[in-house]
Amino acid sequence: MKDARKLWFQPVEAGWNHSFFERYFGTRVGATIRSREEEAVYDFLGGVLRSHHKVLEVGCGTGNYTVPVARRCAEVIALDPSPEMLQYLRDLLLQQGPSNVEARPGRLPDQLGARPGEFDGALVIGVLNYAETLEKSLRALATTLKPGGWAIFNVPVTTIEGGIYALSEILNRRWAYLLSPDEILDSTIKAGLRVDYTATAGLSRGGLTLTVGATVSAAP
C-alpha cells in the first residue's frame, strides 16, 4: 500500500501548472473561495505590514499575494519548490513589476535558505495543506522571524468542505492534511507563535481553511 501511494502521489515540486489555477479561480466557486481567503489575509496584513518590512513568502505560486504585498513593503523573498511556477512569477514580475521581489527555490520545513531572525513577516498561503507535521513547519518558519515578527498562514480543516477538497487533491495525485481548528492552534502555540487572529474561509459556515495570524514573542 505504501509503495502504491509512492507511485500515485507526486513529489511536492512536480505537476504544477499556472493555467490550472487561472482556470479554477476564474470559475464562480474558485473566485468565491479566493475572495474569502483574500479577505482574511488582508484583514490581518492591514494591521501588521509596514513599508520597511522584509517579507518571506513560502509557496508564492502565481504571485497572487506576492505582487500586492511587495508593493506595500521594502522587499519580498518568494519561495516555491516548482521551477515552472517560479518561472511564471519571474516573467510576471518582468512584465508588471515590482522590482523588490527575489523569486527562488525553497519550501518548508527544511529548504528556506533564510538566516534566523531575517524577516519582519512571513506569508504562507495554500502550502501547509501538504505539510506532514504542521508544528515542525511552523517552528522552522518562526526561526526566520525577528522578535515581534508576524506570520499569516492557512490550513485546511476537518469539515465536509475540507473532506471534499482532500478527495479532489487525491485525484490530482496530491495528499492534503486536514486538521481541526484546535489542532492547528495547538501546533501554532507549540511552535513558539502567539495566535492573534483567526478566520475561516470557504463556501460553507465551517469553511475550507482556517487562516491564522500570529506573532513571535518579543525579546524581554
Per-residue model confidence as pLDDT tens digits over 11-54: 777 677 788 778 888 899 889 999 999 999 999 999 999 999 99
Entry pTM = 0.92
Is it the case that residue 68 has pLDDT exceeding 80? yes
Are 98 and 78 in contact by the 8 Å Cβ rule? The answer is no
Query: In whole numbers, what is the pLDDT of the chain averaged over residues?
Result: 92
Closest CA to 138 of 89, 77, 179: 179
- 3-class secondary-structure state, position 211: strand
* The CATH fold of domain 2-50+105-111+123-216: Rossmann fold (3.40.50)
Is it the case that residue 105 has pLDDT exceeding 80? yes
**Which residues on neighbouring strands pair with residue 57, listed in sequence order?**
78, 123
| 96: enclosing H helix or E strand | helix 83-96
Is it the case that residue 219 has pLDDT exceeding 60? no
Residue 37 CA to residue 59 CA, distance in Å, equals 15
Whole-number percent of the chain with pLDDT over 90: 78
Question: Can you tell me the mean pLDDT for 180-205?
Answer: 96
CA of 134: how far to CAs of 71, 113, 128, 129, 220, in Å?
29, 19, 7, 9, 27
Question: Can you tell me the mean pLDDT for 202-214?
Answer: 95
CA 109 to chain centre: 12
Question: Can you tell me the mean pLDDT for 136-151?
Answer: 97
At 5 the pLDDT is 60
Question: Can you tell me the mean pLDDT for 121-129?
Answer: 96
Q: Band of the pLDDT at 4, cuts 50, 70, 90? A: low
For the chain, the structural domain boundaries read: 2-50+105-111+123-216
Residue 38 CA to residue 137 CA, distance in Å, equals 22
At 218 the pLDDT is 62
Is it the case that residue 1 has pLDDT exceeding 60? no
At 18 the pLDDT is 80
Q: Band of the pLDDT at 205, cuts 50, 70, 90? A: confident
